Amino acid sequence: QVQLVESGGGLVQVGGSLRLSCAASGFTLSSNPMSWYRQPPGKERELVALVPRAGGATNNADSVKGRFTITRDDAENTVYLQINNLKPEDTAIYYCKATRPGRDIWGQGTQVTVSS
């Protein structure tokens, strides 16, 4: 079964850090661009970070630059999102996505809640 499973979310205080994981099964993610999105309460889903196929440069949304880092471990078939210096506005459901020919694959999401 082709799927992505996110983990690592939780409740954290302002200024804290989290590392989100996105594990792929049923396919090899090394050949796919991977990205993290988030959807804050009552808002639309937005792209926060992207890593292309192996060897390409990552790209982050302006709102998270300097705080979010996306990395991929192709040996583990997993993509990570390191989030530092968390702010209340980072509260959202975080999703990972694999861009594949024909159909993108989305995970089920993991909740991040930042308390002040």
55 has a pLDDT exceeding 70 = no
Distance CA 60, CA 27 (A): 25
77 has a pLDDT exceeding 70 = yes
Q: How confident is the model at residue 7 (pLDDT cuts 50, 70, 90)?
A: very high
What's the pLDDT score for residue 76?
A: 95
54 has a pLDDT exceeding 80 = no
Distance CA 8, CA 23 (A): 11
What's the pLDDT score for residue 29?
A: 87
**Mean pLDDT in residue range 50-65:** 80
Each residue's pLDDT tens digit, 11-43: 999 999 999 999 999 999 888 999 999 999 999
